[in-house]
Amino acid sequence: MRDFTSYVRRHLQRSSLPDDDARARRYDDIVEELASELEARYTSRLQRGESEEDAWNAAIAQIPSWPALAHDLQLAGRELSQEDNRTSFRRWRRLNPFIADRWTRDLRLGFRVLWKDRGFTAAAIVTLAICLGGHAAILSAVNATLFHPLRVPEPERIFLMANQYPRMESQRVGLVSATPDYEDRRQHVAALEDQAMYNFSDGTIESAGIPTRVRGIVGTPSLLRLLRARPAYGRLFIETEGIIGNDQTIVLTDGLWRELYGSDPAVVGQSLRLSGRDLTIVGVLEPGFSFGGPDVRFYIPFAFTDRQRSDEARHTNGWYSIGRLRSGATIEQARAQLSALDAANLDRPPAMKPLLQNAGYFTSIEPLQDVVVRDVRGPLRLLWGAALVVLVIGMTNVAGLVIARSRTRLSELGTRLALGASRTDLLRQLVVEGMIVAWAAMCGGVLLAYWLLSSFRASFLAGREAPHLDLLTVAITAAAAALAGALIGSTAALPLVTSTPGALLQRGRRTDTRGRASRATRRSLVVVQMACAFVLLVGAGLLWASLRNLLAVDTGFKVDGVITAAMSLPNHRYTTADDTRGFVNRSLETIRGLPGVAAAGATTIVPMGGNYQSGIIVAEGYIPKPGEPAVSSIRIGVTPGFFEAVGTPLVTGRYFDERDNDPGSTSIIIDERLAHRFWPGGDPIGRRMFRPENPRQLLTIDANTRWLTVVGVVGATKLRGPATEEVTTGTFYLPYAATAPRDFGYVIRSHAGTATVIGELRPALASLDREAPVFDVRTLEERTALSLMSRTSTMRIAVLFAVVAVFLSSVGLYGTLSYLVAQRRREFGVRLAIGSTPRLIVRLVLREGLVLAVAGVLIGAMASVAIRSLVSTQLYGIAASDPRVLAVTAVSLAAVALLASLLPAQRATRVDVMKILNAE
């Protein structure tokens, strides 16, 4: 008998076997078993009559390569030790996601798999990129505009104070204060460490020989300090520059400095001519500083006149009053100090007391940030919501794609699992695939967002800092993309975790009927998508209907063929009202002489410009009810020709005429609403009214009272644009000549096309005075559109989102139906074989699609009604749950759904009956 034990021992070294295997059998055991195996074969050959030599050779041929055997044993042992020794370094390394070689291999494989399945990959990436991009663009706008509206340090500590008269109808939300309030609040509101008062101020600067209008801010010297602005060159204002005579200074923004002086640091100390005043440049602000919007290019000091400091100026509100909260102080403290101040000032001057009490006067204080974003908050939130909904639709769409794809994927995964790949390997592979898609989608999304922002920023957020794609948005987009990637990966991997390899292979088979769960999932995904799309479509429809309503609003103007322009006369050359009147009369004559001009007038307020002034007006003999606040209406000064130019209809009496060019004219024209207020049912013509210049005059009528006589009643107008809230007490018109301010506007009606008149307007006015540049020349139609621009762009973006949503959800429906049809091919084959007609099959599939769509529409309708309060503030003349909009949306969505179902339905009829039946 040969000695197999020593033979094996000789060839299999102890050191070549796994040594780190706690449970591995001892070397001796292995040797013994191998020897026994060899010997069994040797013995059986001997028994069959072979020679000892042959039997020996055959036995030892069983192990042709000892090193290979040792290697195999090592492999087996290693596998064992991995599963056994959970804390070992090897296991850690296996699971550690940062091991480069493993990941590069997974990535390579991932790219290969995705490339092989290009249709899926492209669909998933494009869908996600569109949704992520749209969301990122809106998020950037939200982040810049809503979350960081003030680009100054510690913006949350800056508060706006304003005088409020809640019971006076025209003054619903005041934003402004009067000049005497500044000193008062500085002395008495200790919770604020610094305060400032400012307003916007346009000026004319000669740039490269051309006079141009530039927007700036006139503010108390404290303003820039309060805003924590820092000069790049020179200095900020000092307190003494707030005294008349010392205020001939200017601080430039970085932008204006670059434009005018080509970044020359030596400008400090130089002189700059602004609207005819020579100002000394004392400083240039750091780049990146911005306050009051991107248009603001310079700051000049605000020096109060004696009148502005006096009690007479109280409640002539026209200035923004802000303060920075002292550290450690609270807004409640500031509010308490303000109301104490209000109480103390109630009788300054004494005559004001009943008036202020009746008006419900108080001083409000709120974060400046909130005030700044007030008008865009609603639309931006709405659009953000829409973007999120689209994102959800996109994700569900991709999830649907993944489920459809996992059908084919399951077989592959099952096979690989069966053939020895570990679940972690496969899981990791799927996650890597998801991440590749997510990464590509993120890149696409960021690019799309960048493009969207650069094309929409101009229109949507006019007058605000343009939103840029910020880091936070990119980070959130990346996170959302990663989430989507994980979702894709885990959706694909779910069956791996819950099923055995055999079941996977079974489920992967197309003819199998056990995919019920995934079919239900896909159906509910489609319903969710349809519901989301419905909500967005309803929202977009409502916004569209609102805009249509607004465009149809009668503003009281005939906008066709009307040109408007603004003018600001330099105050050093037009020092008296006579100077201004003279220029206005001359310029109107010139304009009326232009070919194509039918009528022209000047006005203190250009219609649809968003601005308005208001003032208290009293009718002779009108006795207010006890506690009734004074009537405050919109006040405009207009020249003869104004009404003819803008087309405001005359109800009774007359328009202003030549007589009213006399500064002593006592004519007043009121609109229907005001007429109704004071003389309901009566004729106002010839009745007397007066405008108190201070509160004392309001209460005491005497020989000094300057009576105005109503000469005409005109139709009501919406001076600020169709979307603005009605000022219920109406409007009164005074002759422009009475006050003749240097800033005014022209309104010109043309019957020969607006373009020719616009072309002639500038040179004609320049010929009168080249230092008086006309600016902001627009047709009234343009102004109306501008006043609605934020709504228009909100609507457009909402429609865009809705279209994307409808498209994605119909693609989702199409995909789902295709999937269901593919799964039920056998059933359709059988149906056809037993006498069903293609028409019935089509109907079957269409019904399936329609059922899903209708379910989505119903849920969407409920959701729309539930969230109607979110959208209602953005609507005009339409209820948020308007049945017509709901119905139209429902019908059109159902139609789209039917269309999306048509193709899969037809495909269902094209099954080869014989083939299907044979396969049974």
Nearer to other proteins, 37 or 366 (CB): 37
Two tokens at 30? 């292995």
Nearer to other proteins, 95 or 699 (CB): 95
Residue written as token pair 């307007």: 761
Cα-based torsion angle of the residue sequence 105, 108, 113, 116 in order, rounded to the nearest 10 degrees? -150
- Cβ 522 to other proteins, closest distance in Å? 23
- Cβ 436 to other proteins, closest distance in Å? 20
Q: Quick one: which segment of 31-39, 252-260, 270-278, 343-351 binds other proteins (CB under 8 A)? A: 31-39
Binders of other proteins among residues 506 to 565 (CB under 8 A) are 506, 509
Answer yes or no whether residue 28 interacts with other proteins by CB under 8 A.
no
- Cβ 852 to other proteins, closest distance in Å? 32
- Cβ 910 to other proteins, closest distance in Å? 21
Binders of other proteins among residues 419 to 458 (CB under 8 A) are 419-421
- Cβ 28 to other proteins, closest distance in Å? 12
Residue written as token pair 């047709």: 779
Other Cβ atoms within 10 Å of 415 Cβ, number:
14
How far the first Cα of the chain sits from its last, in Å, is: 61
- Cβ 505 to other proteins, closest distance in Å? 4
Candidate residues 10, 19, 40, 350; the one interacting with other proteins per rule CB under 8 A? 40
Looking at residue 253, the DSSP 8-state letter turns out to be -
Nearer to other proteins, 69 or 685 (CB): 69
Answer yes or no whether residue 94 interacts with other proteins by CB under 8 A.
yes
Total chain residues near other proteins (CB under 8 A): 53
Q: Quick one: which segment of 71-79, 448-456, 481-489, 847-855 binds other proteins (CB under 8 A)? A: 71-79
- Cβ 421 to other proteins, closest distance in Å? 7
Two tokens at 380? 């931006």
- Cβ 84 to other proteins, closest distance in Å? 8
Answer yes or no whether residue 37 interacts with other proteins by CB under 8 A.
yes
* β-sheet bridge partners, residue 367: 159
Two tokens at 719? 């001076």
* β-sheet bridge partners, residue 161: 321, 365
**149 phi/psi in degrees, rounded to 5:** -70, -25
- Cβ 19 to other proteins, closest distance in Å? 15
**513 phi/psi in degrees, rounded to 5:** -105, 10
Candidate residues 2, 46, 80, 348; the one interacting with other proteins per rule CB under 8 A? 80
Answer yes or no whether residue 102 interacts with other proteins by CB under 8 A.
yes
Nearer to other proteins, 351 or 421 (CB): 421
Distances (CA, A) of 132 to 120, 137, 399: 18, 9, 15
Cβ neighbourhood burial of 48 (10 Å; 0-12, 13-18, 19+): exposed
- Cβ 511 to other proteins, closest distance in Å? 10
Q: Is the peptide bond before 722 cis (omega within 30 degrees of 0)?
A: no
Phi-psi group of 266: left, alpha or beta (phi > 0 → left; psi -120 to 50 → alpha; rest → beta): alpha
Nearer to other proteins, 105 or 235 (CB): 105
Q: Which of 820, 892, 896, 897 is nearest to 852 (CA)?
A: 897
Answer yes or no whether residue 14 interacts with other proteins by CB under 8 A.
no
Nearer to other proteins, 390 or 432 (CB): 432
Answer yes or no whether residue 626 interacts with other proteins by CB under 8 A.
no
Candidate residues 502, 593, 627, 753; the one interacting with other proteins per rule CB under 8 A? 502
Strands 597-603 and 743-750: antiparallel
Nearer to other proteins, 57 or 305 (CB): 57
Nearer to other proteins, 22 or 552 (CB): 22
To which H or E segment does residue 588 belong?
A: helix 577-592
What's the rounded Cα separation, in Å, for the pair 676 and 715? 12
Q: Quick one: which segment of 94-102, 174-182, 536-544, 687-695 binds other proteins (CB under 8 A)? A: 94-102
Query: In 116-191, where do the E strands start and end?
Result: 158-164
Candidate residues 142, 197, 372, 505; the one interacting with other proteins per rule CB under 8 A? 505
Distances (CA, A) of 767 to 211, 213, 597, 631, 774: 14, 18, 18, 43, 12
* β-sheet bridge partners, residue 366: 160
What's the rounded Cα separation, in Å, for the pair 751 and 59? 115
- Cβ 41 to other proteins, closest distance in Å? 6
Q: Which of 59, 321, 46, 389 is nearest to 185 (CA)?
A: 321
Strands 231-234 and 277-285: antiparallel
- Cβ 420 to other proteins, closest distance in Å? 4
- Residues in CB range of 229: below 8 A, 6 or more apart: 152, 236, 285, 286, 289, 291
Answer yes or no whether residue 54 interacts with other proteins by CB under 8 A.
no
**At 826, is the secondary structure helix, strand, or coil?**
helix
Candidate residues 13, 51, 65, 454; the one interacting with other proteins per rule CB under 8 A? 65
Answer yes or no whether residue 826 interacts with other proteins by CB under 8 A.
no
x-marked contacts with other proteins along 795-824 as a string, rule CB under 8 A: ------------------------------
Nearer to other proteins, 417 or 528 (CB): 417
Answer yes or no whether residue 26 interacts with other proteins by CB under 8 A.
no
What's the rounded Cα separation, in Å, for the pair 50 and 854? 83
Binders of other proteins among residues 367 to 426 (CB under 8 A) are 411, 414-415, 417-421
Q: Which of 410, 373, 647, 398 is nearest to 505 (CA)?
A: 410
**At 199, is the secondary structure helix, strand, or coil?**
strand
Answer yes or no whether residue 499 interacts with other proteins by CB under 8 A.
no
Nearer to other proteins, 411 or 836 (CB): 411
Contacting positions for other proteins (CB under 8 A): 21, 23-24, 30, 32-41, 44, 61-65, 68-69, 72-73, 75-77, 79-80, 83, 90, 93-94, 101-102, 105, 411, 414-415, 417-421, 500-503, 505-506, 509, 918-919
